[in-house]
Structure formats: structure tokens, C-alpha cells
Chains A and B, each alone.
Chain A
Amino acid sequence: AQTVTQSQPEMSVQEAETVTLSCTYDTSENNYYLFWYKQPPSRQMILVIRQEAYKQQNATENRFSVNFQKAAKSFSLKISDSQLGDTAMYFCAFMKPIYNQGGKLIFGQGTELSVKP
């Protein structure tokens, strides 16, 4: 069975600085997706970034980038130029795709990030 572990329950960062959130996972699958979602106080779950396991290039989305180390089963999220609006709970998630549609997301425990002015 797949598992996802986020070892940092809480983190804080000063506005405009860079922060890295850690995630490790365990799977015997070769083809899978990894995601980072953020959940602000509104509780709306928002997709931050997605990485396909077969792609060696790390995904980036504006200020958000990942460091995907497939052999080490590590998937960290770097947030550059942190903004107050980045304050949220961040979840790392694993999914084995089914026929390229949907699938079952397995979530980590979450990291609560506070961005301080």
C-alpha cells in the first residue's frame, strides 16, 4: 500500500523569503502522479502543482517549484518570494492513475505554513 509522509507539522517563513516543504512517499508503482494542494482557512482545497513520475524535469508554477527525486521517493515543494496569501495547510498527495482518469488520492498529514509580515 502506498503511504505519504510529511514530517513537518508546522512551518513559518517571513514574507518575501523562500521556504521548502518536505514530502516522502512509499510505493512499488512506476507510473504515478504526485501533487501539492493547499487548503487556506476557507478550507477550499486548491491544486498548487502536479508532477508525473515519468517526467524527469521538475514541475514549476510561477513561484512554486518541486524537487522530485524518484529513486529517493522524495517530493519537496519550494515556495519563492512567500506572500501572506500563501498561509495555508499544504498537503502532499500520491495517485496511481486509472485509465488516465481520476483515481484515488493518498494524502500526507499536512504542513501548516504561516507567512509572517
Chain B
Amino acid sequence: KAGVTQTPRYLIKTRGQQVTLSCSPISGHRSVSWYQQTPGQGLQFLFEYFSETQRNKGNFPGRFSGRQFSNSRSEMNVSTLELGDSALYLCASSLVGTQYFGPGTRLTVL
């Protein structure tokens, strides 16, 4: 069974731009969660989607948003990028409690 996939793997943007990251979960998994990983703040929860509904949200500004499609694929969007948004963005899918992670998208904001 294929694992969690994330696209793109690397992204370079400039301040003020917006970006969309994509995540395809493991087949049959209906829950998708997103995390931000930075050297300073560590791993922080962004949001979780289940059956196209946001079920849980972390403490991030409204510039961070997401959605989930009927096939469970998920996207997250960051608008008006700031230098501090540079991070590794990890997506995880789950079936029964355990989350399995994708390889991440490395976002660099210049």
C-alpha cells in the first residue's frame, strides 16, 4: 500500500506571496493532519480534517487554511507569506489513532 505523499517536496517563495501544499493520504485513511516543523518552535499542530470537515485546529493565524476533498486528499494554503513561515510542513494520515507521515514539503520564504 502506498504511503502518504506530499507535493511539492521543495518550494521557494517570496514574502507576500501565497502557497498551496498538497497531501494524499494512505488509501482508506479519512483523517489528515498538518504540522509545521521549525528549529525554534519544534513540531506544531496546524489542523486536522476528517470527511471534508475541519475537526481540530491549532493556534495559527488565519493566513493558514486548509481543506479536504471527497477522496480524502487535503491541501493547505498559506497566504501573505512571512519569513517566519519557512518550515518543513508535514502531513499525516490516520485510520485508527496512529498517524503516518508523508515526506514533508520544505518551504523557504525569501
Using a CB–CB distance below 8 Å, which chain A residues touch chain B?
33, 35, 37, 42-47, 50, 91, 95, 97-98, 100-107, 109-110
Inter-subunit contact B96/A104 (CB<8 Å): no
CB within 8 Å for A44 and B94 given contacts A98-B55, A104-B33: no
Q: Is the interface of B mostly helix, strand, loop or mixed?
A: strand
Using a CB–CB distance below 8 Å, which chain B residues touch chain A?
30-33, 35, 42-43, 45, 48, 50, 55-56, 58, 88, 90, 92, 94-101, 103-104, 106
Q: Is the interface of A mostly helix, strand, loop or mixed?
A: strand
User: Closest A-chain residue to B88, C-beta based?
Assistant: A43
Which has the most chain A C-beta neighbours within 10 Å: B45, B58, B99? B99
User: Closest B-chain residue to A102, C-beta based?
Assistant: B31
How far does the alpha carbon of A33 sit from the alpha carbon of B31 in the complex, in Å? Answer: 16
